Amino acid sequence: MDVERLKARAEEIGERENARLRERTPESAKLYERALKSLPAGVASNFQAGDPYPVYLSRGKGSRVWDVDGTEYVDFHGGFGVNVVGHAHPKIVEAIRRVADQGIHFAVTTPATVEIAEAVCERFQLDQVRFVNSGTEATMDAIRVARAATGRDRIVKMEGSYHGHHDVVLFSVVPEADTLGVRYDVGGEAADSAGTAYTTRPTSKGVPKSMWSDTIIVPFNDAVALEEVCREHGDEIACVILEPVMMNIGLVVPQPGYLQALRDICDRHGIVLIFDEVKCGGTIAYGGATERFGVRPHLACFAKAIGGGATIGAFGGEARIMEVVTKGAAQQGTFNGNPLSVAAGLAALTQVLTRDAYEGLAKMGTLLAEGCQRAIDDTGIPAHTMDLGAKGCVSYRKEPLRNYRDFLETIPELFYASYTWMVNRGVFMTPGDEEQWTISVQHTEEDIARYVDAFGEFCAELVS
Ligand SMILES: Cc1ncc(COP(=O)(O)O)c(C=O)c1O
C-alpha cells in the first residue's frame, strides 16, 4: 500500500472532519475562547488540550457522555483509563452520597481506609500499601522509598515511557511531548544507539540540570540492556520502574520471560523493581499485571480505575521496603485516605470491579479489537489492533510493537484523521494516539458495534 498516498488522504479527511467538528460544536468553541483567559491552553491539564480545540463535556451516564453542545457520544475515552466502572454507576454514587452526608474530610484514618488497604493488598498481592492522590504521587513516593531503602540515587526507566509529571521521570517521555514537536527526538546519544542504556536531557523544561544523570534509559522488552547497565552501574541504581504493559504508546505487551528476567536482575543487584500499574492495574485483570503475567515486583503503583472515578493513588509491596516510611522517608499528604475517594474506591473494588466483571470486559474488548481488525484486513491499511481487558487500541503499523522505536514507525497522520472522524460519529476518544480505548462494565455490545461500524467506515474512506 502506498503510505504517502494514505497520508495525503488522511490529511484531506482530517481537514474535512475538522471543519465539520467546528460546525457542530459552537459551544465548545465559545467555552474555549473563554477558558483561554483563565487556563493556559484552555484546559486543566496539558493532556486535555485538543485540535482545533477540546470538545468540552458537561455530563456522563452509563457508557455515554454529553458535550456542552448537548451531543451524546459513546465514551471510549474513559477518562484516560479511569472509568472502568462507567459513568455515575449507582453503587459508586450511593457510596459517595453516604460519605457526603457523614463528613467529606478529616485527615484522620477511618475504618474504611483500613478496609480499602486490605482490599488493595489482597487483590494486588502486596504486604502493605500507602495512599496518595494520583498516579504521579504514587510513582514519586515509590521511587523515594526505593531510594531510601537502598541508599542509592539513580533510577532506570524505559525509553518513551510515562510515569507522571514529577522531575525524575520526565526523561524520555516522548509521546507526551508530541505537542512540543519532539516525537521523533529520542534524545541523548540514543538516536543511533538502540538497544543500549543512556542518559538524556529531560522532555520537559524546568527539570534541574543537577538531575540529568540520575535517570538511565533502557529499551522496553530488552533484559540484556538492563543486565549490561547493571553490570557497570548496579550499585548506583535504586530502582527500575516500568509499566509491565506499556500503555502510552498504544499497547505493548511484555515478551515471554521479560518481566521475570527483570526481577532476577534486580534481585541480583539489590535493586527495587517497581511496576507502574497506574493504568494497567485496574484495567487488564482483577489482580492487574502482577496476576496476569505471574511476576511479582518489589513495589507497585496504582491510581486511575481503582478509585471508581474519584481521586486516589496508592503504592505498596514488600513490608521490609515499605517500612522505610516509618524510618525517615517522607510519605504523607493531607488528602491521603480522603473518605470520599476511599468510599468510591472501595465500592469500585469490592462491588463493581469483581472477577466476573473482568471476564465481561475482556469479552467486550476482544469483540471491539476483532471488529476493528476485520476492517483493517478488508482494506489492507497498515495497522493492527491490541486489547487487554478493558484497554485496547489500533496502532498504525502492520506488526505488533515491542518498544518505543517500533512506535515511531506508526503513522500518526492516520490516527489524527480517525480521531475527528470517530468523534464526529458519536464515538468519544482520547485525542492522542498514545492511548485509545477504555471500556466499562456499563458498555453494551451495541456500544461496541457503534465503534466498529464507525471505524470500518473510516478505513473504507481512507482507501477510497
Ligand atoms: C503509567 C502511568 N503512570 C503514572 C501516571 C500519572 O498518573 P496521574 O495522571 O494520575 O498523575 C499515568 C497517567 O496517565 C500513567 O499512565
DSSP 229-285: HHHHHGGGEEEEEE-SSB-SSS-BPPPTTHHHHHHHHHHHHTPEEEEE-TTTTTTS-
* Domain 90-352: CATH class, spelled out: alpha beta
C-alpha to C-alpha distances, 448 to 143, 439, 440, nearest whole angstrom: 39, 9, 11
Q: Which atom of ligand 1 is nearest to the CA of 80?
A: 14
Q: Delimit the domains of the chain by residue range.
A: 3-75+355-463, 90-352
Determine the pLDDT at residue 431: 85
In the numeric block, the cell 541508599 is attached to 151
Residue where the block lists cell 516525537:
183
Residue nearest to atom 7 of ligand 1 (CA): 135
Cα–Cα distances in angstroms (integers) from residue 156 to residues 60, 138, 165, in the given order: 39, 17, 16
Atom 4, ligand 1: which residue's CA is nearest? 163
Q: Pick the atom of ligand 1 nearest to 304's CA.
A: 10
Ligand 1 centroid–CA 138 distance in Å is 9
C-alpha cell at 212: 540529568
Could you tell me if 63 and 71 are in contact, meaning their C-beta atoms sit under 8 angstroms apart? no
Return the biggest CA–CA distance within the chain. Answer: 65
CA 288 – CA 303 distance, rounded (Å): 12
Question: Residue 174 has which C-alpha cell?
Answer: 516522548
Q: Determine the atom of ligand 1 nearest the C-alpha atom of 45.
A: 9
Q: How far apart are CA 345 and CA 352, in angstroms?
A: 10
- Check residue 206 and give its pLDDT: 94
Write the DSSP assignment of 400-414 as a string of letters.
Answer: PP-SHHHHTTS-HHH
**Pairwise CA distance, residues 235 & 76, whole Å:** 44
Distance 380 CA to ligand 1 centre (A): 34
Ligand 1: centre distance to CA 302 (Å): 9
User: Whole-structure pTM over 0.75, yes or no?
Assistant: yes
Ligand 1: which residue has its CA nearest to atom 13?
A: 164
**Residue from 77, 162, 284 to probe ligand 1 pocket by mutation (most atoms less than 8 Å from CB):** 162
Q: What is the pLDDT of residue 378?
A: 97
Most informative mutation of 48, 137, 163 for ligand 1 (most atoms within 8 A of CB): 163
Comparing C-alpha atoms, which of 241, 249, 229, 126 is closest to residue 176?
Answer: 249
Q: Which of 355, 361, 359 is nearest to 123 (CA)?
A: 355
pLDDT score for 203: 87
Active site residue 304: yes
Task: Render each residue's pLDDT in the chain as its tens digit; 464 residues.
Answer: 799 999 999 999 999 999 999 999 999 999 999 999 999 999 999 889 888 899 999 999 999 999 999 999 999 999 999 999 999 999 999 999 999 999 999 999 999 999 999 999 999 999 999 999 999 999 999 999 999 999 999 999 999 999 999 999 999 997 765 655 667 777 665 545 556 888 988 988 999 999 999 999 999 999 999 999 999 999 999 999 999 999 999 999 999 999 999 999 999 999 999 999 999 999 999 999 999 999 999 999 999 999 999 999 999 999 999 999 999 999 999 999 999 999 999 999 999 999 999 999 999 999 999 999 999 999 999 999 999 999 999 999 999 999 999 999 999 999 999 999 999 999 999 988 888 899 999 999 999 999 999 999 999 999 99
Q: Report the SS3 class of residue 25.
A: coil
Catalytic residue among 141, 276, 433, 447: 276
Whether 272 contacts 237, CB under 8 Å: no
The answer to whether 313 touches 272, Cβ cutoff 8 Å, is: no
> Which member of 73, 162, 396, 404 is catalytic?
162
Å from CA of 338 to ligand 1 middle: 19
Ligand 1, pocket-test mutation among 279, 391, 430, 436, most atoms within 8 A of CB = 279
Q: Which of 249, 304, 335 to mutate to test the pocket of ligand 1 (most atoms within 8 A of CB)?
A: 304
Q: Where do runs of H (alpha helix) occur along 69-188? A: 78-81, 90-102, 111-124, 135-150
Atom 2, ligand 1: which residue's CA is nearest?
A: 163
Q: What's the CA angle centered on 156, arms 151 and 157, to 5 degrees?
A: 140
Give SS3 for 167: helix
pLDDT value of residue 435: 81
Q: How far is the CA of 248 from the centre of ligand 1 (A)?
A: 9
Based on the residue annotation, tell me whether 276 is a catalytic residue of this protein: yes
Instruction: Pick one of 2.60.40.10, 3.90.1150.10, 3.80.10.10, 3.30.300.20 as the CATH number of 3-75+355-463.
Output: 3.90.1150.10
Tell the residue number behind the cell numbers 480517525, with chain if given: 418
Distance 120 CA to ligand 1 centre (A): 18
Peptide bond between residue 52 and the one before it cis (omega within 30 degrees of 0): yes
Q: Name 384's Cβ contacts closer than 8 Å, sequence gap at least 6.
A: 373, 376, 394, 395, 397, 398, 399, 400
Cα separation, 450 vs 64, in Å, equals 12
Kindly list the protein residues whose Cβ atom lies closer than 6 A to any atom of ligand 1: 80, 134-136, 139, 162-164, 243, 248, 276, 278-279, 303
Rounded to 5°, the CA angle 146-82-46 comes to 80
Catalytic residue among 304, 387, 419, 433: 304
Nearest CA to ligand 1 atom 16: 279
The minimum-distance atom of ligand 1 relative to the CA of 137 is 11
| 124 Cα: distance to centroid of ligand 1 (angstroms) | 18
